[in-house]
Amino acid sequence: MLPEFRNEPFGDFSSSERRASMQRALRHVAGQFGATYPLVINGEHILREEKLASLNPAEPARVVGYVCKGDQELANQALSAAEAAFQRWRQVPVEARAQLLLRAAAIMRRRKEELAAWMVYEVSKTWVEADADVAEAIDFCEYYARQALRLQGASHPLTPNPGEYNELRYIPLGPGLAIPPWNFPLAIATTLTVAPIVTGNTVVLKPSPRAPVMAAKLVEVLEQAGLPPGVVNLLPGDDAVIGDYLVDHPKVRFIGFTGSKAVGLRVLGRAAVRQEGQHWLKRSILEMGGKDATVVDETADLEAAAEGIVAGAFGFQGQKCSACSRAILVDGVYDLVLQRVVERTRELRLGNPARPETNVGAVIDKRAFDQISAYIAIGQEEGRLVAGGEVVDHELLKDGGYFINPTIFADVAPRARIAQEEIFGPVLAVIRARDFEHALEIANDTEYGLTGALYSRSVERLQRAREEFHVGNLYLNRKCTGALVGAHPFGGFNMSGTDSKAGGPDYLHLFTQPKVVAEKL
């Protein structure tokens, strides 16, 4: 019997001991820069000439690692390996599959600072953000191990029918794809990989080309934990070469995807087309973008609201699906909250996240830098610039890092582009609402529905928000980021995805099919 699930505690970097050991981990990891990571197919490590170079966004001249690239032939091999391994793996008792996840969690716990250090370099997470990413990955392993035992280790009661023995079992689907984004390169790669395998499926993991080293680290951890060959196959590569090819492949039974709306819709459309030799409907589990709002009314604790808005908007440079990209403030407190948000934002330290004092690192790459800069130009037309927006200081630019100052536009219209389109960077649109009613209307007026927050002391309004603020994850009097596995199962509505909840009690169902057997006695 496993002890009850508890969230992995976050690192306390106020302790000098902890700071010193994180510094050691950063040095250790920097000493391994430039290594080459193989593809992994059927347990074999395959080295190739064609490689992705993973660059440090804060110092792009530094290559964090080279990851070998797959092509369509290797995609075929990876799916054949997953198909063959499925026949063995689905018969492995759920207890043994759960043990694999628990061992992986233990290894991640031991390697916590090292894994966090890789993320500091590969995606420019601050220490705190990188530590939280590892903690979440550990949580997914611990949580799904327990959920799998609940789902597949016990029988599920059915209405008794005299003269029959009837049972309901949740069986796995088959070989599938795990397609994570780059922004939670360990946690989301973990949830999309370990949830299917603990329920008896096998996986081809196609990581984001923007964070492929972390995916290689995840597979390394799973191998250390005793992963059998073929159960997880690692296939990095160019999306243009293997993206559609994998999604279209007739051997694929399910697709676990997290990423942008545009790619999610593309995956959904292609997965719906039956291919020659395909005997099933592909199940698509899609987690997509957000345009998340924090509403503040005149009864709220305004300081707490300002703090929550700034943390939600600029944590990890605003590159979270849950990031607060709209602050909707009611008229009576608009000026005051805006002022405190701007003041708090000016206190944030932009810089290389390898340094502990940094609050805001670099954005992921040149493409993101250009896209976010273009939105800042649009914002100049659509709002009043009250923070950021200007070029960053020379010290940061000398390494060529992709730094963008946390940027705030005030007086933005609810239907403005910067209030409607996901920017995925450190840009906040502040919108004035006449009153609470109007604020709620504005909050719901997007195509997304991922997270939202309301700061209010009014019991009636908190209740209204519960009923009418249409998001998958609603936070009352706290920031709209930072979901915890188990405590805040996570996933959004509308264009934010297929309404699933990672880290929740229903999640593993998505990777199974219920089978009922009725036996006449």
Eight-class DSSP state of 47: -
Quote the tokens at residue 175.
């070989």
Strand pairing report for 35-37 and 59-68: parallel
Residue 244 or 370 with smaller CB distance to ligand NAD = 244
Q: How far is the CB of 117 from ligand NAD (least distance, A)?
A: 21
Residue 42 or 498 with smaller CB distance to ligand NAD = 498
Q: Known catalytic residue: 468?
A: no
Quote the tokens at residue 155.
């029988």
Which residue in 141, 321, 324, 480 is the catalytic one?
A: 321
**Bridge partner list, 284:** 255
- Contact between residue 46 and residue 36 where contact means Cβ atoms under 8 Å apart: no
- Residue with CB nearest ligand NAD? 259
Stated length of the chain? 521
Q: How far is the CB of 496 from ligand NAD (least distance, A)?
A: 6
| Residues 125, 264, 366: CA angle, nearest 5 degrees | 40
CB atoms within 10 A of CB 337: 24
Quote the tokens at residue 255.
């697709």
In degrees to the nearest 10, what's the CA dihedral of 378, 364, 351, 389?
A: 0
Residue 11 or 290 with smaller CB distance to ligand NAD = 290
Eight-class DSSP state of 240: I
Q: How far is the CB of 180 from ligand NAD (least distance, A)?
A: 6
Which residue carries 């990876």 as its tokens?
78
Q: Known catalytic residue: 480?
A: no
CB atoms within 10 A of CB 392: 16
State whether residue 518 is helix, strand or coil: strand
**Closest of 39, 389, 103, 71 to residue 241, by C-alpha:** 71
Q: How far is the CB of 424 from ligand NAD (least distance, A)?
A: 5
Residues that bind ligand NAD (CB under 6 A): 179-184, 188, 208-209, 239, 243-244, 247, 258-260, 263, 266-267, 287-290, 321, 422, 424, 450, 491-492, 496-497
Which residue in 113, 287, 298, 422 is the catalytic one?
A: 287
Strand pairing report for 451-455 and 473-476: parallel
Residue 324 or 329 with smaller CB distance to ligand NAD = 324
Q: How far is the CB of 191 from ligand NAD (least distance, A)?
A: 9
- Contact between residue 49 and residue 59 where contact means Cβ atoms under 8 Å apart: no
CB atoms within 10 A of CB 226: 11
**Bridge partner list, 513:** 171
Q: How far is the CB of 437 from ligand NAD (least distance, A)?
A: 28
**Closest of 297, 333, 64, 90 to residue 185, by C-alpha:** 64
Strand pairing report for 202-205 and 175-179: parallel
Q: How far is the CB of 377 from ligand NAD (least distance, A)?
A: 20
**Bridge partner list, 254:** 176, 283
Q: How far is the CB of 30 from ligand NAD (least distance, A)?
A: 25
- Contact between residue 96 and residue 197 where contact means Cβ atoms under 8 Å apart: no
Q: Give the whole-angstrom CA distance, residue 447 versus residue 420.
A: 8
- Contact between residue 113 and residue 22 where contact means Cβ atoms under 8 Å apart: yes
Q: How far is the CB of 274 from ligand NAD (least distance, A)?
A: 18
Quote the tokens at residue 381.
């037309």
Q: Give catalytic residue positions.
A: 287, 321
